[in-house]
A = this chain, B = another copy of it.
């Protein structure tokens, strides 16, 4: 499979189906661009009548070509596809790039054409890029089917659902310099080859050091996540997921379901899988550049070497905003900096040379060497106006500055730590700046994009380690007791669990639940009181017809004493009947009132794109007003669970806010992992909603639990 993509991207021979002598036609443009770029493979124009096109011998069909063909660029209209693909298959061409539009995007008729096209491709063993793509380029192969000008070769791969987004990256790279691209593919309608397969290709391509994906929608979310977890072990994957404000939500009847809005969910899951998620398209290129050029840092501590001015302050602001730590320099480092810098310099982090490099820029390299040699420094940012000393102060400094640029790149390589430069002279592309860029040091005009690179490098390093060393917790065999409970619910013809059944199922997976007693009638209350003890109880209606118990008046809290229990029982049943006269009342569930603590919600939902997903959030206004929730795809690791807990905005609530003791995080992680195992063991349960769970320093109480089975017939 990946062999076909390999032959497409690294084609030694290309057939242009629908080649043309008319310069306004795509087939003509692609042929000219291939020639102009010096593509040294073979080009076979395919044209029903012409003998020659643009100086190349033309053929009536691919079958008339005797040489091997690696890829067909198909510029002919939709209707021709089945027969053209059949010929490609006969000719054993592994891949076709199909430009034609007019498929599923035009409605039912297009859907039918799409199905026929896919069938032809599958039947004839041709992998299909697009349709409705603007093509593919591989700049290292000088193969540019897209006809885009000004694309600078480099090590960033692009996979995009929008040709204009690729153009934006290409033109910005041209303007910025020092950054370029390996290959591009416009995925079009993703009729055949999926995003995950392109990602796998970029993962294996030696010319690609990082891959940028512009995604409007996944057709293969789960496969993409799996591939991403794998590929990010060796190279960074940067994703811009558009449509993040769309109202589309997973249709669901539980709280968890309604909170699973697509963007937050996609972002969390992509990050879990190691992807770098960028939410501003104007940051895509600089983040990809940093990640493709720089070594992966060993830790997350940053040193700043600044030559005065406000940029150091701006940098610190941006680092703190991004949650990045400043390194605490060793005493030896401070001493060594004092030796080379003027008395007015600040030799703690952020280091300010206080004019100490104005007359001799090479002092910057000395300082960089000292800082990168400090074990407490994982990354170094050179901030201010480096590269402009000759331009600003004295042209005689140019040779010194050029040599310093070379030394800086060398020092960073020797220490194996990332060095990033921010300089106001980057905009003017002075010679010392261009030397830095040529030697692989990214240079930024403003501090914020540099800081964004730093924080994404640190994120990438952590995600890579996490995914390498914490295996996902696969479910194993379902508990027999659990399967029995499920069978009972099914046998009763329900798709919603009774609460006591849900709690029993939790228990089967080792999740502690409070004692409970199902009173089927008033006469059971005496035994309930005896069993649950002399303390305030919560009472809840149990009915297959009542999903929202509180709305139906079906909940009474803090009920204490047999008379009160009896009164509450009567009133619950009466309310339920008033709410729905036909409601079948199975009984009333009694449990002790939970001790106070921090309310959270833990849920599982089945996302149509990504499959089973865990949700975690704080209860009350955090979830209702602030939608402060985090997601992870299942299976997940304990490390994932820990990060999911830290992801929510109000996570400090768990650390003992408002005078309380911190909650038991280990127990919480354990709970999440057990719920994930339960969900994976019983994939027929499409929604789980533990809401609320009350967390305390010594454990937790699952106060309410709801589970929904896949509706019959689905």
Which A residues contact B (CB, under 8 angstroms)?
Answer: 23-24, 148-150, 160-165, 167-168, 170-172, 174-175, 214, 216, 240, 242-245, 280-282, 308-311, 313-314, 316-318, 320-321, 384-385, 388, 391-394, 424-428, 445-449, 621-622, 624-626, 649-650, 652-653, 657-658
A657–B244 Cα distance when bound, in Å, is: 24
Most buried by B among A281, A392, A445: A281
17 A/B residue pairs, CB under 8 Å, sorted by A: A148-B392, A164-B308, A164-B424, A165-B311, A167-B309, A168-B445, A171-B445, A175-B445, A240-B314, A242-B310, A244-B317, A245-B316, A281-B311, A282-B447, A282-B449, A621-B658, A626-B649
Residues of B within 8 A of A164 (CB): 308-311, 384-385, 424
Residues of B within 8 A of A160 (CB): 310
A447–B424 Cα distance when bound, in Å, is: 23
4 cross-chain pairs, A with B, having the tightest CB-CB distances, nearest first: A162-B310, A164-B309, A282-B446, A171-B427
Residues of B within 8 A of A244 (CB): 317, 321
Across the interface, do B317 and A448 meet the contact criterion of CB distance under 8 Å? no
Most buried by B among A162, A172, A282, A449: A282
Residues of B within 8 A of A309 (CB): 162-165, 167
Residues of B within 8 A of A652 (CB): 625
Distance of A617 from chain B, by nearest CB (Å) = 14
Across the interface, do A216 and B313 meet the contact criterion of CB distance under 8 Å? yes
Residues of B within 8 A of A624 (CB): 657-658
Across the interface, do B317 and A447 meet the contact criterion of CB distance under 8 Å? no
* Chain copies in complex: 2
Distance of A238 from chain B, by nearest CB (Å) = 15
Across the interface, do B320 and A245 meet the contact criterion of CB distance under 8 Å? yes
Most buried by B among A23, A150, A165: A165
* CB closest residue in chain B, given A280: B448
Across the interface, do B313 and A243 meet the contact criterion of CB distance under 8 Å? yes
A657–B624 Cα distance when bound, in Å, is: 8
Residues of B within 8 A of A384 (CB): 164
Across the interface, do A282 and B445 meet the contact criterion of CB distance under 8 Å? yes
Across the interface, do A242 and B427 meet the contact criterion of CB distance under 8 Å? no
A171–B385 Cα distance when bound, in Å, is: 11
* CB closest residue in chain B, given A388: B167
A450–B383 Cα distance when bound, in Å, is: 27
Across the interface, do B428 and A171 meet the contact criterion of CB distance under 8 Å? yes
Residues of B within 8 A of A316 (CB): 245
Most buried by B among A163, A242, A447: A242
Known: A165-B311, A243-B313, A621-B657. 6 other contacts (CB 8 A): A160-B310, A162-B309, A164-B309, A243-B317, A244-B317, A626-B649
Across the interface, do B424 and A167 meet the contact criterion of CB distance under 8 Å? yes
Distance of A704 from chain B, by nearest CB (Å) = 17
Distance of A653 from chain B, by nearest CB (Å) = 6
Selected contact of A310 from candidates B23, B24, B165, B427, CB within 8 Å: B165
Residues of B within 8 A of A391 (CB): 149
A387–B180 Cα distance when bound, in Å, is: 23
Most buried by B among A244, A427, A649: A427
A310–B162 Cα distance when bound, in Å, is: 5
A244–B315 Cα distance when bound, in Å, is: 11
Residues of B within 8 A of A428 (CB): 150, 171, 174-175
Across the interface, do B625 and A281 meet the contact criterion of CB distance under 8 Å? no
Across the interface, do B650 and A447 meet the contact criterion of CB distance under 8 Å? no
* CB closest residue in chain B, given A150: B428
A639–B162 Cα distance when bound, in Å, is: 44
A160–B163 Cα distance when bound, in Å, is: 41
Across the interface, do B281 and A446 meet the contact criterion of CB distance under 8 Å? yes
Distance of A663 from chain B, by nearest CB (Å) = 14
Selected contact of A313 from candidates B171, B242, B625, CB within 8 Å: B242
Across the interface, do B281 and A448 meet the contact criterion of CB distance under 8 Å? yes
A49–B269 Cα distance when bound, in Å, is: 74
A240–B445 Cα distance when bound, in Å, is: 17
A20–B167 Cα distance when bound, in Å, is: 52
Selected contact of A175 from candidates B174, B427, B448, CB within 8 Å: B427
Across the interface, do A653 and B621 meet the contact criterion of CB distance under 8 Å? yes
Across the interface, do A162 and B311 meet the contact criterion of CB distance under 8 Å? yes
Distance of A430 from chain B, by nearest CB (Å) = 10
Across the interface, do B161 and A310 meet the contact criterion of CB distance under 8 Å? yes
A161–B311 Cα distance when bound, in Å, is: 11
A160–B310 Cα distance when bound, in Å, is: 9
Residues of B within 8 A of A171 (CB): 424-428, 445
A658–B449 Cα distance when bound, in Å, is: 41
A311–B320 Cα distance when bound, in Å, is: 31
Across the interface, do B167 and A385 meet the contact criterion of CB distance under 8 Å? yes
- Contact A310:B167 (CB < 8 A) given known A150-B428, A428-B150, A625-B657: no
Across the interface, do A282 and B317 meet the contact criterion of CB distance under 8 Å? no
Residues of B within 8 A of A658 (CB): 621, 624
A426–B650 Cα distance when bound, in Å, is: 42
Across the interface, do B445 and A321 meet the contact criterion of CB distance under 8 Å? no
* CB closest residue in chain B, given A243: B313
A698–B277 Cα distance when bound, in Å, is: 46
Residues of B within 8 A of A622 (CB): 621
Selected contact of A424 from candidates B168, B317, B653, CB within 8 Å: B168
Residues of B within 8 A of A214 (CB): 310
- Contact A24:B621 (CB < 8 A) given known A164-B311, A310-B165: no
Residues of B within 8 A of A149 (CB): 391-392
A417–B369 Cα distance when bound, in Å, is: 54
Across the interface, do A245 and B317 meet the contact criterion of CB distance under 8 Å? yes
Residues of B within 8 A of A650 (CB): 621, 625-626
A160–B316 Cα distance when bound, in Å, is: 18
Residues of B within 8 A of A161 (CB): 310
Across the interface, do B314 and A281 meet the contact criterion of CB distance under 8 Å? yes
Across the interface, do A446 and B243 meet the contact criterion of CB distance under 8 Å? no
Distance of A285 from chain B, by nearest CB (Å) = 9
Residues of B within 8 A of A245 (CB): 316-317, 320-321
A554–B362 Cα distance when bound, in Å, is: 67
* CB closest residue in chain B, given A173: B427
Residues of B within 8 A of A148 (CB): 392
A152–B218 Cα distance when bound, in Å, is: 46
A622–B625 Cα distance when bound, in Å, is: 11
Distance of A318 from chain B, by nearest CB (Å) = 8
A425–B171 Cα distance when bound, in Å, is: 7
Selected contact of A311 from candidates B24, B168, B243, B427, CB within 8 Å: B168
A242–B160 Cα distance when bound, in Å, is: 37
